[in-house]
C-alpha cells in the first residue's frame, strides 16, 4: 500500500504536472465515468456524478494516505488502498486495464483511477474533517514533538510496530517506513509502546522523519507492479532484506510476522528487551 512518501509524490505530480500532462489545479471536471460504482463511498454514485459536473479543481493536497482534491464546492478524498494508481492521460489515450473511475476534464485530459483489486475508495464531502479528523498527527509536522509522541505512546500497551500502523495514532506510516524507522531508532518492533524511555522516543521520532524524508527524496518506493517511479527501494536498510547484512553492524537482517505483516529488523542493533 502506498505510504506517506508515495502519496505525497503522487499528489505533487498531480499538482505540478508530469510527463507532458497539465497540472490539475484550475482544471474543470466535465463529467465522471464510473465503471466500478463501488469505488465511490460517499455520496451515492449517481449523486457523485451529478455533483462533480463542472467542478473546478483548486488544489491537490495530501493528508495521511489520502490524495485530496480541493474543489470550488466540496473536497474529493481518494484512498489508493492496495493497488490504486492515479494517472493524468489525454482523453484520446487508449483505455487501460483496471480503469474504474475516470474524471473527464474540459481541457481534453482525464484523471484516471486504476485499481486492479478494487479496494480503493473515493469520497466527495462538504466537510472532509468527517474522515480526516479521525487521523493521527502528521509525523513531519514541526508542531508534533517528541514530548507529544511520548505522551501518546505511554497511553497504550501495544507493540510499537502495531501502534505505529494505526492511522488514528500517527498518519501516513505503513510497513515499509515503520521497519526503516525502527531500525534507525534501534528499537525492536515488539517493544511495548509504554516501555520506551524519553531518549528512545526522541530517537524514534527522529528515525520516522529520517525514513520519510529519505523516501520523499527518492519519490517513494517502487516495490510491485502498481506504484512505479520511485527509487527508495534501492536504499532500504532492512525492509525486504532478510538474511542480508545490516548496514550498521553487518549481522543478518531477520524477519518475523507482526500483526500479519512481514517485519524486518536487525537483532543486533534492535535487541529485544523486557517490557
| Cα 107 from Cα 91, distance rounded (Å) | 9
pLDDT tens-digit map of 44-75: 999 999 999 999 999 999 999 999 999 999 99
Strands 75-79 and 66-71: antiparallel
Q: Which CATH architecture has domain 4-132?
A: Alpha-Beta Barrel (3.20)
Q: What pLDDT shows up at residue 225? A: 53
pLDDT tens-digit map of 126-156: 999 999 999 999 999 999 999 999 999 999 9
Contact status, residue 74 vs residue 51, Cβ threshold 8 Å = yes
**Active-site residue set:** 2-3, 65, 261
Cross-strand pairs, 33: 102
Mean pLDDT of the chain: 95
Provide the residue ranges of all domains of the chain, joining segments of one domain with +.
4-132, 146-265
Query: Is there a cis peptide before residue 43, judged by omega within 30 degrees of 0?
Result: yes
Q: Which CATH class, in words, describes the domain spanning 146-265? A: mainly alpha
Amino acid at each position: 500500500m502506498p505510504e506517506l512518501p508515495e502519496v505525497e509524490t503522487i499528489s505533487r505530480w498531480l499538482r505540478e504536472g508530469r510527463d507532458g500532462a497539465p497540472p490539475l489545479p484550475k482544471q474543470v471536471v466535465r463529467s465522471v465515468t464510473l465503471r466500478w460504482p463501488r469505488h465511490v463511498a460517499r455520496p451515492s454514485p449517481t449523486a457523485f456524478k451529478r455533483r462533480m459536473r463542472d467542478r473546478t479543481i483548486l488544489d491537490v493536497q495530501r493528508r495521511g494516505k489520502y490524495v485530496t482534491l480541493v474543489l470550488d464546492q466540496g473536497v474529493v478524498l481518494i484512498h489508493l488502498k492496495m493497488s490504486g494508481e492515479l494517472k493524468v492521460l489525454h482523453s484520446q489515450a487508449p483505455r487501460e486495464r483496471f480503469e474504474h473511475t475516470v474524471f473527464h476534464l474540459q481541457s481534453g485530459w482525464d484523471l484516471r483511477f486504476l485499481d486492479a483489486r478494487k479496494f480503493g475508495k473515493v469520497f466527495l464531502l462538504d466537510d472532509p474533517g468527517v474522515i480526516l479528523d479521525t487521523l493521527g498527527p502528521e509525523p513531519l509536522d514541526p508542531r508534533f514533538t517528541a514530548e507529544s509522541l511520548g505522551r501518546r505512546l505511554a497511553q497504550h500497551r501495544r507493540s510499537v510496530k502495531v501502534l505505529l500502523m494505526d492511522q488514528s495514532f500517527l498518519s501516513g506510516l505503513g510497513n515499509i517506513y515503520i521497519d526503516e524507522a525502527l531500525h534507525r531508532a534501534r528499537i525492536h518492533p515488539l517493544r511495548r509502546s509504554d516501555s520506551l524511555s524519553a531518549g528512545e522516543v526522541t530517537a524514534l521520532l527522529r528515525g520516522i522523519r529520517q525514513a520519510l524524508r529519505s523516501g520523499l527524496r527518492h519519490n517513494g518506493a517502487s516495490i510491485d507492479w502498481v506504484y512505479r517511479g520511485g527509487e527508495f527501494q534501492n536504499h532500504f536498510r532492512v525492509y525486504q532484506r532478510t538474511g542480508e547484512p545490516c548496514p550498521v553492524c553487518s549481522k543478518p537482517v531477520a524477519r518475523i510476522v507482526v500483526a500479519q505483516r512481514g517485519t524486518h529488523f536487525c537483532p543486533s542493533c534492535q535487541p529485544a528487551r523486557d517490557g
